[in-house]
């Protein structure tokens, strides 16, 4: 199982929050993985993901110890993600 993600190096600023975006790729039957945003955000207050094809996407946020975004997707689904939170 192989989950990879990219992060756009140009986050947007909205007041005291930053919007970070990127893409994800699932191969070999992968159904998601973690995206560590701790170098950019202190925690995640909202997040989402959209698949590039039909299939379910779900996001889970662990903003307690680190700013980690967990994507749970249909197998082999690629797409885009976003996260919003205070800058680190």
pLDDT, one tens digit per residue, over 15-31 is 999 999 999 999 988 88
Query: Taking the CA of residue 39 as centre, how many other CA atoms within 13 Å lie in the half-sphere pointing to its CB?
Result: 4
Which pLDDT score is estimated for 57? 80
Query: What is the reported pTM?
Result: 0.86
Which pLDDT score is estimated for 64? 57
**CATH architecture assignment, domain 2-86:** Sandwich (2.60)
Distance from C-alpha of 51 to C-alpha of 24, rounded to nearest angstrom:
9
30 close to 45: Cβ distance less than 8 angstroms: no
Distance from C-alpha of 24 to C-alpha of 77, rounded to nearest angstrom:
8
Which pLDDT score is estimated for 58? 80
Cβ-based neighbour number of residue 7 at 10 Å: 17
pLDDT higher than 90, residue 63 = no
């Amino acid at each position: 199982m192989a989950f990879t993600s990219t992060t756009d190096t140009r986050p947007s600023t909205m007041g005291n929050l930053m919007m970070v975006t990127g893409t994800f790729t699932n191969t070999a039957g992968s159904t998601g993985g973690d995206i560590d945003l701790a170098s950019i955000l202190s925690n995640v207050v909202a997040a989402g993901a959209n698949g590039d094809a039909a299939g379910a996407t779900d996001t889970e946020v662990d903003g307690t110890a680190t700013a980690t975004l967990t994507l749970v997707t249909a197998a082999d689904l690629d797409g885009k993600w976003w996260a919003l939170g205070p800058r680190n």
